[in-house]
Amino acid sequence: MGESRITKLFQSTPSGAGGQRILNVYCTAGYPQLDSTLDVMKALQDNGADLIELGMPYSDPLADGPVIQNSGLVALANGMTIETLFAQLKDARKEINVPIILMGYMNPVLQYGFERFCKEAAAVGVDGLILPDLPEYEFETEYGAFIKQYGLDFIFLVTPETSDERIKKLDSLSTGFLYAVSSSSTTGSDKNMTDVNTYLQKLQAMQLSNPVLVGFGIKDKQTFDTACSHSNGAIIGTAYIKALEGTNDVAATTKNFLKTII
Amino acid sequence: METTYQKPSSQGYYGKFGGAYIPEMLHRNVEELQSRYLDIMSDAAFQKEFRALLKDYVGRPTPLFYAQRLSTQFNTNIWLKREDLCHTGAHKINNTIGQILLAERLGKKRIIAETGAGQHGVATATVCALKGVECIVYMGEKDIERQAPNVARMKMLGATVIPATSGSKTLKDATNEAIRDWINNPNDTHYIIGSVVGPHPYPDMVAKFQSVISEEMRWQLKEHTGKDLPTHVMACVGGGSNAAGAFYHFLDELSVKIIAVEAAGHGVNSGMSAATTQLGKPGILHGSKSLLMQTADGQVVEPHSISAGLDYPGIGPMHANLFESGRGIFLSATDDEALNAAFEVSRLEGIIPALETAHAFAVLHNYKFKEDDQVIICLSGRGDKDLATYMKNM
């Protein structure tokens, strides 16, 4: 199998003076409207997002703060399901060229059928998965084989609390990139990022096999710049979902939002 | 490692249920618990302190009482394990005493907990007061309303009660909020889970702390009757902590029938129920794989029970395995059946049980015991907290 779309992105993106500045933006599938998923993705691509992380809504998202929780509840109320999402993504590759990552929690995926999920995700052009409550033991013993079989990347999270030994292990299991959580928090936290430099410098010095994207607490140009200074780029989620709240014009809102970041 | 009904695998699996499905942000804390809980709990000094507090503070051993009039009514032998006589009024404190001592040894200065009926919240606030430790309890907004006396008790004990306003505003959501708090406070905080749910090692750790219930049942029954084993042990099950404690030392004694009673709410098929083994499918909630009430799309269903302590869409992985393997007999009682049973037990035995516990008594009407059976019912808590509900139904 050739290199994944995600790997190619990191390989082909030139490093400026401050290194790579890959921008991954999170959005919740089916938010703000059930059928706005593709419009949101298109707007993100058109306005400078290098990767799109598409959240699959879940009733009990443990790692998420109130803003993303709420977007998930709205999406569920709109009728979003994995089945519907795959139907929406069926023709996405006609318009969307950037890598697509599905992010979600294990339970809906298990009910859909893990292998069936991987197969259909790959078939509609999804490139990678982030499942924060799939631990590495179960990944190695049960689920990782399906992910690999269908050529999907799998991205593990590391945090400032993760030991060096474990960072190396999770890096060795990840493909595409490694997701560095900036501070010990749920998404959208306002914890300050003063210590994040030390942590990111440590990761940089470890010479990991994957590029590193930083997420959690990235909300504006300043935090994006801080995150990028010692990594390959960053992930923005909560701030973008906030921007989408109540909007009637996804394209304009996205354009205005990303203008403030890049 | 050999697993039994009682003992999970090294990865925390009871059959196919259990494990630790947690985001990386919780990994260090959960792994620390996994690697240390058995050593800490088997340490002689720990056991000495734990046993002394159970005896002198909680008031253990709790009596095993022969319920004469209930026995006559149902033409069998019914024994009541009086966990309602524990300090704070329920079995929950067996676990919180254990976990506060554990937290102390882990150097944690801040305690968080979730609570449904408020019994676990009160038991946690109590041990935090005893040890002078900060205590934050998450409780569903709906439960705060229906369990007002316990909210007042927690506050009087110095705890901060934070309402969980998401989802069904009950125990599931309080648990979500407690887990999110732990993610945000990884260094100084220990999460005292109140039931045999959550990521490994919680189900095993909580079951072990609660196993004092069945440990006492065994020697007490022997003392009363000369018999080594009862024929049946019964308990109500939400997450399942009193049941785990009551069943624990009988799980691998296959002659003893294990009866777990779930909350059927308005009826198992009414759409307003919390009978997880009847309605659930394998799924993942709060860090472990178990049976879970959910939609076809894998969204967690909001359960219903009149009793806040059983109003939970999941069940501990140990119990899910007892159900799947056929080792346990799983029955259910509706809101109305539980209410009637609470009045019946009050009048026949002079004991007002908690609404949760009343579910276990309700199935006496549906399950046929033999005249010479020796049936132990875990009377997990007292009914003071439910007086408002009881008064409405007088």
**String of DSSP letters for B73-131:** HHTSEEEEEEGGGSTTSBTHHHHHHHHHHHHHHTT--EEEEEESSSHHHHHHHHHHHHH
> What domains appear along chain B, each with residue ranges and CATH number?
13-53+93-206 (3.40.50.1100), 60-90+210-392 (3.40.50.1100)
B371 noted as active-site residue: no
Number of Cβ atoms within 10 Å of the Cβ of A97: 10
Going residue by residue through chain B, which has 394 residues, state the pLDDT in tens, using 9 for 90 and above.
456 899 999 999 999 999 999 999 999 999 999 999 999 999 999 999 999 999 999 999 999 999 999 999 999 999 999 999 999 999 999 999 999 999 999 999 999 999 988 999 999 999 999 999 999 999 999 899 888 899 999 999 999 999 999 877 889 999 999 999 999 999 999 999 999 999 999 999 999 999 999 999 999 999 999 999 999 999 999 999 999 999 999 999 999 999 999 999 999 999 999 999 999 999 999 999 999 999 999 999 989 999 989 999 999 999 999 999 999 999 999 999 999 999 999 999 999 999 999 999 999 999 999 999 999 999 999 999 999 999 999 8
**Which chain B positions have a beta carbon within 8 Å of A137's beta carbon?**
11, 19-20
**Residue among B24, B28, B179 whose CB faces A157 most closely:** B24
A55 in Cβ contact with A81 (< 8 Å): no
Instruction: Determine which of A20-34, A181-195, A246-260, B111-125 has the lowest per-residue pLDDT on average.
Output: A181-195
SS3 B339: helix
**Which chain A positions have a beta carbon within 8 Å of B281's beta carbon?**
111
CATH number of the domain encompassing residue A52:
3.20.20.70
State how many domains chain A has: 1
Confidence grade of residue A194 (pLDDT, cut at 50, 70, 90): low
Percent over 90 (pLDDT), chain A: 89
Range of the domain at A157: 5-13+20-257
Q: Is residue A147 part of a domain?
A: yes
Contact between chains at B25 and A161 (C-beta distance less than 8 A)? yes
Q: Which of B98, B6, B93 is nearest to B47 (CA)?
A: B98
How big is the A-B interface in CB pairs under 8 Å? 109
Active site residues of A: 53, 64
C-alpha distances in Å from residue B377, one per residue of B206, B246, B326, B363, B374: 20, 8, 20, 11, 10
pLDDT number for residue B2: 59
**CA-based Rg of chain A, rounded to a whole angstrom?**
17
A-proximal residues of B, 261-300, CB under 8 Å:
281-287, 292, 294, 296-300
Give this complex's ipTM. Answer: 0.95
End-to-end CA distance of chain B: 53
Contact between chains at A111 and B296 (C-beta distance less than 8 A)? yes
Contact between chains at A158 and B24 (C-beta distance less than 8 A)? yes
d(CA A51, CA A26): 9
Q: Is residue A61 part of a domain?
A: yes
> Side by side, which strands form the sheet with B281-285?
B13-14, B17-18, B288-292, B281-285
pLDDT number for residue B3: 67
Query: What's the gap in Å between the CA of A96 and the closest CA on chain B?
Result: 26
Contact between chains at B25 and A134 (C-beta distance less than 8 A)? no
pLDDT number for residue B92: 98
- Residue B21, chain A, CB below 8 Å: the answer is yes
SS3 B176: helix
**Which chain A positions have a beta carbon within 8 Å of B299's beta carbon?**
58-59, 76, 108
Query: What's the gap in Å between the CA of A150 and the closest CA on chain B?
Result: 22
**Is 70 exceeded by the pLDDT of residue A185?**
yes
Q: Is residue A228 part of a domain?
A: yes
Query: What's the gap in Å between the CA of A141 and the closest CA on chain B?
Result: 12
B92 noted as active-site residue: yes
Q: Is residue A79 part of a domain?
A: yes
| Shortest CA distance from A162: residue in chain B | B28
Q: For residue A34, what is the DSSP state?
A: G
For A71-90, what is each residue's pLDDT tens digit? Answer: 999 999 999 999 999 999 99
**Which chain A positions have a beta carbon within 8 Å of B140's beta carbon?**
none
| Shortest CA distance from B297: residue in chain A | A108
A-proximal residues of B, 132-171, CB under 8 Å:
166-167
**Which chain B positions have a beta carbon within 8 Å of A133's beta carbon?**
21-23, 284, 287
pLDDT number for residue B1: 47
Contact between chains at B298 and A60 (C-beta distance less than 8 A)? no
Helix runs in B350-381, H state only? 355-362
**Which chain B positions have a beta carbon within 8 Å of A109's beta carbon?**
298
d(CA B83, CA B88): 10
d(CA B121, CA B172): 14
- Residue B19, chain A, CB below 8 Å: the answer is yes
Contact between chains at B184 and A189 (C-beta distance less than 8 A)? yes
Q: Is residue A262 part of a domain?
A: no
**Residue among B168, B257, B380, B385 flagged as catalytic:** B380
Query: What's the gap in Å between the CA of A131 and the closest CA on chain B?
Result: 8
Q: Which of B330, B310, B309, B308 is nearest to B319 (CA)?
A: B330
| Shortest CA distance from B288: residue in chain A | A133
Contact between chains at A63 and B183 (C-beta distance less than 8 A)? yes
pLDDT number for residue B147: 87
**Is 80 exceeded by the pLDDT of residue A213?**
yes
d(CA B99, CA B103): 6
- Residue B22, chain A, CB below 8 Å: the answer is yes
Q: Is residue A170 part of a domain?
A: yes
